[in-house]
């Protein structure tokens, strides 16, 4: 190696001449021949001594992994107040509706905030009215149905909150939902808005009081519920039956049904039709609501006499016993009903 370095030093000290020397020539000096040998050395051995992955050439692999490296998001999610403000901006409204719907169960005073925020309830009503043209002829899309369900979910907050329920009634807001409940199309977009609209009415009657019941009866809610009980999906039928049951729990509601033979037989016929359908499509929650309706009707003497002959045999002969096998409360209610109309109690 020392010999090679000496040759290189000698080569560098040579005065550069204008003509180029051919190192392949036999006449070339020993210095040139030695340099040729040095240049033509096998470099594979030298390459094998280099690091396989020089850190200064290749960055850390973890820095290239999109999973292990995530930029820190320091932005805070918008507050409920900011989301309500976004409702007033048409271009932000849809995303705001989605975000508020997700937060509504974690913000107990959302109903009060909405009601006392300028223009919010008016915006929700505007959303409802804007969908009316899609009801007839039926052109409602799934996207429009989803958006409407978010709107109705916010109205349900106002309908269920004790601080806004009566204001909700005084503003006649349930009337805006009746066109949505009155639809007869069975497709999913229509079924969803029908179910969610009934959910708003269900929130009104859940903690029933006479003022709420009187208002709903004056607006002919019973015929709307009966229509859904006859042609709606299982969930819509269940909620509509729940609404009727809560209405007749109140004495005003029971009197409304039982003082008119037409109203009583309309309800009795609808309940009987649903019982028959449960033979092929069992639903324990729907059957429980049906039994509760029958039981409450039996508290009226004239209705109790009518049910002796009008109670469906499928409730008497155990046809639907499998539907109630896991619901002891419903089985006991049915037994009490049968004993009561049979004169046992």
| pLDDT digit string, tens, across residues 116-153 | 999 999 999 999 999 999 999 999 999 999 999 999 99
HSE-up of residue 83 (Cα within 13 Å, Cβ side): 21
Domain limits of the chain? 79-207, 222-345
Decide which of 304 and 37 is more confident.
Answer: 304
- What fold, for 79-207? 1.25.10
**CA atoms of 50 and 58, how far apart (whole Å):** 14
Tell me if 38 sits within 8 A of 4, measured CB to CB.
yes
Lowest-confidence pick of 35-39, 103-107, 234-238 = 35-39
3-state secondary structure 34-69: HHHHHHCCCCHHHHHCCCCCCCCCCCCHHHHCCCCC
Q: What does the pLDDT read at residue 32?
A: 44
Q: Domain 222-345: which topology?
A: 1.25.10
- Give the pLDDT confidence score for residue 42 in this predicted structure: 47
Distance CA 92, CA 108 (A): 24
pLDDT at 44 over 60: no
Q: Do the Cβ atoms of 88 and 123 come closer than 8 Å? A: yes
Residues 299-318: what's their mean pLDDT? 93
Name the band, by pLDDT with cuts 50, 70 and 90, for residue 157.
very high
Q: Is 25 left (phi over 0), alpha (psi -120 to 50) or beta?
A: beta
CB atoms near residue 229 (< 10 Å): 25
Q: pTM for this one?
A: 0.77
Domains 79-207 and 222-345 share a fold: yes
On the question of pLDDT at 57 being above 50, the answer is no
């Amino acid at each position: 190696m020392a010999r090679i370095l000496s040759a290189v030093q000698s080569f560098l000290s040579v005065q550069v001449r204008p003509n180029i020397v051919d190192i392949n020539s036999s006449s070339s000096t020993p210095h040139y021949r030695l340099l040729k040998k040095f240049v033509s050395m096998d470099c594979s051995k030298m390459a094998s001594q280099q690091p396989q992955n020089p850190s200064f050439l290749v960055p850390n692999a973890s820095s290239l992994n999109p999973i292990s490296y995530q930029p820190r998001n320091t932005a805070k999610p918008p507050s409920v107040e900011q989301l309500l403000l976004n409702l007033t901006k048409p271009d932000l409204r849809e995303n705001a509706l989605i975000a508020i719907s997700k937060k509504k169960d974690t913000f107990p005073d959302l109903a009060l905030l909405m009601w006392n925020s300028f223009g919010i309830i008016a915006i929700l009503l505007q959303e409802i009215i804007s969908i009316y043209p899609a009801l007839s002829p039926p052109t409602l899309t799934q996207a429009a149905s989803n958006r409407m369900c978010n709107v109705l979910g916010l109205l349900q907050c106002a309908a269920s909150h004790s601080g806004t329920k009566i204001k909700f009634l005084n503003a006649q807001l349930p009337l805006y939902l009746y066109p949505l409940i009155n639809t007869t199309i069975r497709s999913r977009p229509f079924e969803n808005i029908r179910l969610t609209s009934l959910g708003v009415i269900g929130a009104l009657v859940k903690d029933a009081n006479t003022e709420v019941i009187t208002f709903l009866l004056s607006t002919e809610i019973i015929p709307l519920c009966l229509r859904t009980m006859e042609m709606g999906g299982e969930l819509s039928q269940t909620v509509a039956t729940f609404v009727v049951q809560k209405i007749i729990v109140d004495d005003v509601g029971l009197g409304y049904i039982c003082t008119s033979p037409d109203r009583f037989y309309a309800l009795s016929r609808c309940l009987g039709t649903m019982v028959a359908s449960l033979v092929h499509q069992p639903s324990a929650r729907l059957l429980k609501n049906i039994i509760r309706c029958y039981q409450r009707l039996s508290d009226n003497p004239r209705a109790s006499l009518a049910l002796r002959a009008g109670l469906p045999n499928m409730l008497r002969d155990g046809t639907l016993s499998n539907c109630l096998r896991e619901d002891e409360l419903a089985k006991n209610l049915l037994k009490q009903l049968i004993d009561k109309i049979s004169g046992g109690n």
